[in-house]
Amino acid sequence: MLFMPTPHVIVIGGGGTGAALAYDLSLRGCRVTLFERGELTSGTTGRHHGQLHCGARYAVQDREIGRECMRESEILRRIAPASIEFNHGLFVAITEEDEQYCRTFFPACQACGIPARLLTAAQALAMEPYLNPRLRLAVQVPDGSMDAWRMALQFFASAKARGADIRNFSEVIGLKVAADGEAARSSRIIGVRIRDHRSGSEYELTADLVINATGAWSKSVVGLAGIDIAVSPSPGTMVAVKGRLTNMVISRLHPAADGDIIVPQRNLSIIGTTQRLTADPDRITVPHRDVEKMLRSAEIMVPGFKKAPFHAAWAAARPLVGEVSNSVGVRDLSRDFSLIDHGEAGGVGRFLSIIGGKATTLRGMAEITADRSCELLGIESACRTAELPLLPARSLYRGRAGVSAHPGVRAAKTGNLPAKAATESRSGERNI
């Protein structure tokens, strides 16, 4: 019998998408090595406000995204309930314009298959007494809150239990490129060069396929292969105050704008978010004007929000698909995701990039990327991540978590440290 070596896939990026991708590929029989230059989830994943989108926010603008969010939120609630608080959401109409927008919003939700319930002001205020008493009406939808760190760590734990080698504090500083064919008009990635930030040493590792899942940092990674990618890192400021002022996720019933979502997280209330453009996602500041704008916006939906004890302000860089020249055009970029096969797009084979999307769709993004990976590697294996419950997040620190690795996959490293989120103080100073 002819022995077929296990395909080796390198995933770059230790956020939620990279975690879900490592898990999916491990389930399909690949040997997976994931590299993250810092701590796991220390980029965008560890800094978003943690809303589990049912898709209502996108129903008017893009019904396909709305349907996708509804589908994926149901899957996540099934496979990772420990990371989710299914507390529902209210879209609230404060002004006459908001009330008029409901005539477009409500049927759009129905068209996306999103269960939406129209509430009178009295009904909404009975559910959430701290809402603005000038409320005109509200629409209840199946939104929720997710623990951004725990969700990703559940995927990491499940991937590691299947044999994935997860290496944090390991930065990809180079891509190994080989000519593909005698004409050398195309090339392919055959491995990566790594800098281990713990030891300061560097080494190389070969692979059959390399996948860039670094989100807002994607342009820098593909640049190592001499190619470009259309991605706009878009920082958004969020502000958290102490106290759970609402039980449900509260959204303003109007077209998407700055400061129109309040997400309860344990005993905190988070308002987000602004939107702008940056050339370098490693150099994001938290402007004082953004903090004040968020607090004013929250006050419109929940009077008294500004008086609650301040907890923290921070920013996360969305990896929006496409490029714009200034912050004005950022709001018009799609919230959808894009899978790029650089062999087709730029002549550099065995190299994929997955960009865009939302935390709610991380599993679905990984599925599509893994499907394409299997096509390139000649693997016939269907996705099973929508069916299998994820392991608990703490299993990441408990060796093999009682699950056997796939045959031929070498043991994963143990001892990864817990994810540590970075926040910003009100003055803009970083608190680690």
Write out pLDDT tens, residues 6-49. 999 999 999 999 999 999 999 999 999 999 999 999 999 999 99
Three-class SS string for 312-333?
A: EEEEEEEEEECCCCCHHHHHHC
Q: Kindly report the length of the chain.
A: 432
pTM for the model stands at 0.89
The domain over range 88-144+232-327 is classified in CATH as 3.30.9.10 = yes
Percentage of the chain exceeding pLDDT 90: 84
- Structure token pair of residue 322: 């496409």
pLDDT for residue 399? 57
Q: Measure the CA–CA gap between 156 and 162, rounded to whole angstroms.
A: 10
- 415-430: pLDDT as tens digits: 333 333 333 332 333 2
Select from 308, 317, 330 the least CA-distant residue to 257: 330
- Residue 246, CA atoms < 13 Å, CB-side half-sphere: 35
Report domain extents, the chain. 8-45+149-230+335-408+417-431, 88-144+232-327
Inter-residue contact 113 to 59 (CB < 8 Å): no
Q: 8-45+149-230+335-408+417-431 belongs to which homologous superfamily? A: FAD/NAD(P)-binding domain (3.50.50.60)
- Burial of 64 (C-beta count, 10 Å sphere; 0-12/13-18/19+): exposed
**How many CA atoms, within 13 angstroms, populate the side-chain half-sphere of residue 351?**
31
Please count the other Cβ atoms lying within 10 Å of the Cβ belonging to residue 162. 26
The 10s digit of each residue's pLDDT in 78-87 is 999 999 999 9
Residue 86's contacts (CB-CB under 8 Å, 6 or more residues apart) are: 52, 77, 142, 144
Query: Residue 422 has which token pair?
Result: 């970075």
Confidence band of 400 (pLDDT split at 50, 70, 90)? very low
Residue 185 predicted with pLDDT over 80: no
- Spatial distance between the Cα atoms of 90 and 324, rounded to a whole number of angstroms: 32
Closest C-alpha among 329, 216, 332 to residue 280: 216
pLDDT over 70 for what percent of the chain?
Answer: 88
